[in-house]
Amino acid sequence: MTITSPQQTSSTSANRPSQDYACIKRLVEAEMTEVNKLIIRELSSDVVLINQIGHYIVSSGGKRLRPVLLLLVAKALGYSEEEHITLAAVIEFIHTATLLHDDVVDESSMRRGQDTVNELWGNSASVLVGDYLYSRSFELMVSVNKMRIMEILSRTTTAIAEGEVLQLLNCNNPSTNEQKYLQVISRKTAILFSAAAQLASVLVGAPDDIENSLKEYGLRLGIAFQLVDDALDYKADPEDLGKNLGDDLAEGKPTLPLIYAIEHGSEQQAELLRHTIKEGDRNRFKEVYEIIESTQAIEYTISRAKEEANKAIEALECLEQSAYKEALIQLAQFSVERSY
């Protein structure tokens, strides 16, 4: 199944992307209810500030995309026990910890349409609660008592940290190319999607070829998701996006729309973009946006996202047909069709 346009949907669904995702989540609604209960339970601490911040994070919502992915893969493989609930919570804890740390590094003030933790409680609290969530995630994964799972998650968290450092090195660096950019998002974002899909296959003892295919599915899905995120930073409705447009620009992040525009704009346009990346100048957002529009950099970024989503869908050929496999296909499509 090939994604040919942002509007194309699955053969079994013609709804808008947000409705499609609601249908996808509904397939694992009972499991997600248990995951959310576990998250709330494991966030509990006798340290009041941890409880306050923990409940603030949980109530702020989010798509819960990574745990949903893990649950869908487990169900597609016929898993019928309960350890996928624990691992879904682990994945969400790791993801949330990275967000808390990211918001400090990026000096972000808004996420998911709400004030960030560092905006309300300060950087120190945000970092320390992020550390707490990392620690809780490892306690939970130990409870599953499978060395292979611990190996995967340990390797994943190491790669995420490496991706964060690589992104830091690329910030305010207008010479960053597409290859370096993809290296960052593969480690920083996509690898947790990959781990979620791989962990589900490990739980059921799937053969190596199936495990590797699902790992590939998660990686390609994560890359597609981040590519669209970076495009949305220049074209989304801020209310839908849940953060301010131009945040990446203000942080001096050379994302793919900027990289492509530098390579395909005039020398004057390229020089303005290089200067803006170096300075992290949000005040030039309008000028930057006009250059990105004129070079069709957003269209290119979305087309690259479609390529990755199609590769993700191809990797699902290892699965037998089921409602869960169809949902995984729809998830890849949602990743490029969404507006938030």
What CATH number does residue 33 fall under? 1.10.600.10
| pTM metric for this prediction | 0.90
Residue 11: inside a domain: no
DSSP string, 79-122: --SSHHHHHHHHHHHHHHHHHHHHHHHHT--EETTEE-HHHHH-
Each residue's pLDDT expressed in tens, for the chain with a length of 340 residues: 676 533 333 334 344 676 789 999 999 999 999 999 999 999 889 999 998 998 888 877 678 999 999 999 999 999 999 999 999 999 999 999 999 998 888 888 877 678 899 999 999 999 999 999 999 999 999 999 999 999 999 999 999 999 999 999 999 999 999 999 999 999 999 999 999 999 999 999 999 999 999 999 999 999 999 999 999 988 755 555 445 667 788 889 999 999 999 999 999 999 999 999 999 888 888 899 999 999 999 999 999 999 999 999 999 999 999 999 999 999 999 999 987 7
Q: Is residue 244 part of a domain?
A: yes
3 is a domain residue: no
Decide if 171 is inside a domain. yes
Q: Which residues contact 100 (CB under 8 A, 6 or more apart)?
A: 57, 117, 118, 126, 127, 129, 130, 133
Which domain does 228 fall in, by range? Answer: 17-337
Within-domain flag for 180: yes
Asked if the structure places residue 74 within a domain, the reply is: yes
Q: Is residue 221 situated within a structural domain?
A: yes
Domains held by the chain: number: 1
Question: Is residue 7 situated within a structural domain?
Answer: no
- DSSP-derived letter for residue 236 is S
